Amino acid sequence: MRQVILDTETTGLEPSQGHRILELAAVEVCNRKLSGNRFHRYLNPERESDPGALQVHGLTSEFLSDKPKFAQVAGEFLDFIEGAELIIHNAPFDIAFLNAELSRLQRGAMAQYCAGVVDTLAMAKELHPGKRNNLDALCERYGVNNAKRTLHGALLDAELLAEVYLAMTRGQESLMIEVAAEMRAAARVIPQTRRAFVVLRASVEELAEHTAQLERINQSSKGKCLWLSLGATA
């Protein structure tokens, strides 16, 4: 199964207020392993970042001024995610921004290009109710090294989220392994202990009574007693 772990950095919190994506990153996971394929672009958002957002990502307008606009990388990005299941932390936020960018280009919505979206924030809240479930907290909980995460960056966050997601869902894999092991154990043939059987032979009187009974059966069946006929030819 092909999955793409995705993250964005933006100029603010609300695409409805004209805020834009300024960094976009995605890493590919195939059959629960990082493939090494990734998509990463800094983007010129054509506007300033809110002060609060700038403190989070640290990407200044000067740094982004010569970077491509979303329209210039949209085709390459959509090709990269085509048909994959997207794994996103707080997915409604990123999807809303991506849909707004696609709408500006009249290229539909994300649902047209991917096989579905998994929100790891919703998953974490279900697994760990009442606990902190941001990416830093999940890295600590699942033993993922996030020492390089001094600022939010889309590529680093996508790579960290990939490790967290694989750790969060490892129980599903373990369950299948345990079930398979139980099935193998049940299928094994356990050798039975050999026992000595005692053979009790019929007495002369018992044999005579048995023969008389067969004769009676033979008479009532008009000579069709199989035991007598088989005994005669043995």
pLDDT in tens, 131-168: 999 999 999 999 998 887 766 789 999 999 999 999 99
Element counts in the chain: helices (H) and strands (E): 10, 5
What pLDDT is stored for residue 196 in this prediction?
A: 57
Whether the per-residue pLDDT at 80 is higher than 70: the answer is yes
Is this prediction's pTM over 0.75?
Answer: no
**68 φ/ψ sector (left φ>0, alpha ψ -120 to 50, else beta):** beta
Contact 60, 22 (CB under 8 A): no
Whether the per-residue pLDDT at 175 is higher than 70: the answer is no
Cα 135 to Cα 157: distance, rounded to the nearest angstrom: 8
Residue bearing tokens 């043995």: 234
DSSP states of 202-232: PPHHHHHHHHHHHHHHHHHTTS--HHHHHHH
Whether the per-residue pLDDT at 207 is higher than 80: the answer is no
Active site residue: 40, 89, 128, 152, which one?
A: 152
- 128 counts as catalytic: no
Residue 51: exposure state from Cβ atoms within 10 A (0-12, 13-18, ≥19): exposed
At residue 46, φ and ψ (nearest 5 deg) are: 60, 30
What pLDDT is stored for residue 232 in this prediction?
A: 53
Residue bearing tokens 């907290």: 137
